[in-house]
Amino acid sequence: MTCRGRFVVIEGGDGVGKTTQSRLLAARLGARLTREPGGTDLGEQIRSVLLDPHAGDVHPMAELLLMVAARAQHVNSVIEPALESGVDVVCDRFSGSTLAYQGYGRGLPLEDVAAACALGSLGLVPDVTVLLDAPLPALAGRRPRGAGSEAPDRIERAGERFHERVRAGFLELGRQDGWVVVDASGEVDDVARDVCAAVAGVLGRCGPPVRSDPIVSSGAPCRPVAPEPGR
Ligand SMILES: Nc1ncnc2c1ncn2[C@@H]1O[C@H](COP(=O)(O)OP(=O)(O)OP(=O)(O)O)[C@@H](O)[C@H]1O
Ligand SMILES: [Mg+2]
C-alpha cells in the first residue's frame, strides 16, 4: 500500500524567510520542494510577468487570475502527481498568499478570491500551512539591497501600507484550522526548530531530529492512495 504524501505549505509576507525555511523543511522531510507562483514552465513564465517591475498597471483581478492559472498547472502537473506517488511536498506559498495579497492587500472581495483559489487549486487543500510571521521593521535589515542583490519586484514595491494589510490578513488566515503561526523574527535555526515542531504536531513527523520525539514516534495515520481503476 502506498501512503499518499502530505502537502505542507509555508506562507508569510515578503522576506520573512519562506524560501529559507521551505528548503530546510523539505530536506528534513525528504520532501519535494516547489514554489508559487511558479513550479512549472508555464508557472515560471507567469511568475516573471507578475513580478516584473516594468509590467505597468496590472489590474488586481488580472493579478488574481494569473496567480490561480499558474496554480492549476502546478497542482495538476507537479504537486498532485508527487502526493499520489507517496512523496511529501513542501510548497513555498499557496492559496493563503493569494488571499493575503490579492484579497487583504489589493482589496478584492475575499469571497471572490476564495472562489478563484478553489478553482485554481483544483480542490487541493494543504495538510498544514505554516505561517511565518514577523513585524515588518524586524525584516528591514535582512535582505541586502544594492550592488549584487536583486532589485525589489513589482509586488515588493507595493508600499508599506500594502504590506501591513498583507501581514494583518495573514494573521487573520492563521486563525483557521490547518494553520500554525510561527514567530519568524528569530535566528534561522530557531525558526526552523519551531517550523518542524509545528509540522510534527500535525503530521506526526518532521525528519530525523524530530522522529526521536515520543509524540512523533506514535506516527500519523496513513491515507492510502486509492488504486486506479483496472490496477
Ligand atoms: N531568521 C532569519 N534571520 C535573519 N535573516 C534571515 C532569516 N531567514 C531568512 N533570512 C534572510 O533574509 C532574506 C530573505 O529570506 P528568504 O528569501 O528566505 O525570504 P522569503 O520569505 O522567501 O522572501 P520572498 O518573499 O522575497 O520570497 C535572505 O537574505 C535570507 O538569508
Ligand atoms: Mg522566497
Mean pLDDT (whole number) for 35-53: 94
At 147 the pLDDT is 43
CA 16 to ligand 1 center in whole angstroms: 5
Nearest one of 154, 173, 198 to 46, comparing CA atoms: 154
Atom number, ligand 1, closest to the C-alpha of residue 139: 12
Is the model more confident about 56 or about 45? 45
Ligand 1 neighbours by CB, cut-off 6 Å = 12, 14-20, 142-143, 187-188, 191
Q: Which of 19, 156, 166 gets mutated to test ligand 1 (max ligand atoms within 8 A of its CB)?
A: 19
Per-residue pLDDT tens digits for 89-126: 999 999 999 999 999 999 999 999 999 999 999 999 99
210 vs 140, more confident: 140
- Asked whether the predicted pLDDT for residue 219 surpasses 50, the reply is no
Q: Is the dihedral of CA 163, 169, 172, 178 positive or negative?
A: negative
Please identify which residue in the block is written with the cell numbers 485554481.
120
pLDDT tens figures, 163-191 = 999 999 999 999 999 999 999 999 999 99
pLDDT tens digits along 72-90: 999 999 999 999 999 999 9
pLDDT (0 to 100) of residue 207 = 74
- Model confidence, pTM: 0.90
Residue 63 Cα to ligand 2 middle (Å):
18
Q: Which atom in ligand 1 lies closest to the alpha carbon of residue 190?
A: 1
Q: What is the pLDDT of residue 141?
A: 80
Cell numbers representing residue 186 in the block: 528569530
Give the closest ligand to the alpha carbon of residue 153: 1
Q: How confident is the model at residue 143 (pLDDT cuts 50, 70, 90)?
A: low
Write out the three cell numbers for 114: 476564495
Ligand 1 atom 29, closest CA: 143
Q: Binning pLDDT at 50, 70 and 90, where does residue 229 land?
A: low
The number of the ligand nearest the C-alpha atom of 20 reads 1
Instruction: Return the domain boundaries, the chain.
Output: 7-217
Averaged pLDDT, 8-32: 96
**108 CA from centroid of ligand 1 (Å):** 28
Can you read off the three cell numbers belonging to residue 100?
493575503
Yes or no: domain 7-217 corresponds to CATH 3.40.50.300: yes
CB atoms within 10 A of CB 142: 11
Which cell numbers in the block locate residue 36? 508559487
Q: How far apart are CA 47 and CA 15, in angstroms?
A: 17
User: Residue 159 — very low, low, confident or very high, per pLDDT cuts 50/70/90?
Assistant: confident
Q: What's the chain's average pLDDT?
A: 89
